[in-house]
Amino acid sequence: MPQIIVTTVIRNGSRERNGFVFEIDWTLKKIMHQFPLPDIDVEELGPRGGARGARGTLSVGGYHYIANFNTIFVYDDTWNLRGEIQHPLFNGLHEMDYDYDGLWVSSTGIDAILKLDWEGNLQSSLFFGELEDHIRETLQISERRCDHTVNQRRALYPNELLVTHVNSVKLYNERPYACLNKQGAIVALDPLEIIVPPSGKAGFHNGTRVNDDLLLVNSSYEKKLYGFKPDDGQIEFEIDWHAELKTMYQKDKQLLEDIFCGKNTDGNVAQNGWARGLDVLESGRVLIGFAPAMIAELDLEDKKIIDVFPLDDDVHHAVHGLSVVK
């Protein structure tokens, strides 16, 4: 009975309704729990993603860790709030992961990856705008210096100021992989290694190495899923969701037509087909989130959608994070 946790963002919505957390029984396609996160202590949310909604999610040891813009909320397995993890360098949190001694967090607003222990004490950090000149030149990253002594939690930086928009950190065989949105690049850490060099394909999200031979990336701007070979960073396959989704899923074509029809957009604020949220369900199958809020199960071998579960038909309501409870 696979359980999945899905977080969402509602773009251009009210402060009281800007995103949700869902626990879903994937076998039954049933929402078991649904709730909004506590209000965020940021004055201005911004019209798009900004400081809105629920972000990264993971489950470990009987607890669920759910991030918003600047806080990680800790819930038990019946969704009682048990605590919060905060740090002055939490700004624009996106996807996160864990190892045996703590959390790996993408602090997108300051272009950083942070490693913390389970109590929220900073263990290490990597600021991409502060890398050595030759590394930044190779990765096509501009310089950006961050004052590490200032509390960054309430600052809402414009996207133009961000030099990477690093938005995910996922571990594979205990090694973290970071996704650089603006460069269309994937790097491994400890030590730093370029896995997918800058590709010019802006909009990378959820860089996830699913096995020794495949690394998957959602491209929200291009509305595609890319499969890369980790050994040489070359594209093995790509799926154009707008062009191919309706032919990949035969059970309910009208559902996908309703969700992905061209008129279902709101300029640059919200567009159908944005793909965000990705996790491995089982060997050879992954779950992917979309806008309007929907989860799709993909068979990687056949490149076919096996099942879908829509949460909403409003294009402003988009999946942001997705994790399988293991």
Is residue 46 included in any domain, yes or no?
A: yes
Place of tokens 């071998």: 301
Residue-range definition of the domain harbouring residue 209 = 3-243+315-324
Report CA-CA distances (Å) from 291 to 96, 134, 313: 21, 38, 8
Q: Whose CA is closest to 93, among 74, 113, 76?
A: 113
Is residue 173 included in any domain, yes or no?
A: yes
pLDDT in tens, 90-105: 999 999 999 999 999 9
Is residue 61 included in any domain, yes or no?
A: yes
Q: What is the DSSP letter of 87?
A: -
Q: State the alpha helices, DSSP H only, in the chain.
A: 133-139, 241-248, 253-260
Residue 136 DSSP SS3: helix
Spatial neighbors of 224 by CB under 8 A, at least 6 apart, are 218, 238, 239, 240, 241, 275
Question: Exposed, middle or buried by CB within 10 Å (0-12, 13-18, 19+), for 145?
Answer: exposed
Report CA-CA distances (Å) from 67 to 88, 183, 284: 14, 24, 28
Residue pair 149/165 in contact by the 8 Å Cβ criterion: no
Which CATH number covers residue 114? 2.130.10.10
Spatial neighbors of 283 by CB under 8 A, at least 6 apart, are none
The alpha carbon torsion through 204, 285, 59, 223 (nearest 10 deg) reads 20
Is residue 91 included in any domain, yes or no?
A: yes
User: Tens-digit pLDDT profile for the chain (326 aa)?
Assistant: 699 999 998 876 555 567 899 999 999 999 999 998 776 766 565 555 566 677 999 999 999 999 999 999 999 999 999 999 999 999 999 999 999 999 999 999 999 999 999 999 999 999 999 999 999 999 999 999 999 899 999 888 988 999 999 999 999 999 999 999 999 999 999 999 999 999 888 789 999 999 999 999 999 888 899 999 999 999 999 998 877 766 666 566 666 666 665 556 656 656 777 889 999 998 899 999 998 899 999 999 988 888 889 998 888 888 999 999 98
Residue positions counted in the chain? 326
pTM of the model: 0.93
Is residue 166 included in any domain, yes or no?
A: yes
- Give the pair of three-digit tokens for residue 49: 């993603």
Residue 248 DSSP SS3: helix
Q: Rounded to an integer, what distance in angstroms lies between the CA atom of residue 40 and that of residue 92?
A: 12
Is residue 8 included in any domain, yes or no?
A: yes
Q: Rounded to an integer, what distance in angstroms lies between the CA atom of residue 305 and that of residue 115?
A: 35
Is residue 271 included in any domain, yes or no?
A: no
- Give the pair of three-digit tokens for residue 223: 């509305």
Spatial neighbors of 149 by CB under 8 A, at least 6 apart, are none
Spatial neighbors of 44 by CB under 8 A, at least 6 apart, are 50, 51, 156
Report CA-CA distances (Å) from 148 to 13, 115, 126, 152: 32, 15, 11, 8
Report CA-CA distances (Å) from 107 to 71, 160, 282: 11, 16, 28
Question: For position 325, what pLDDT does the model report?
Answer: 95
Number of structural domains found in the chain:
1
Is residue 280 included in any domain, yes or no?
A: no
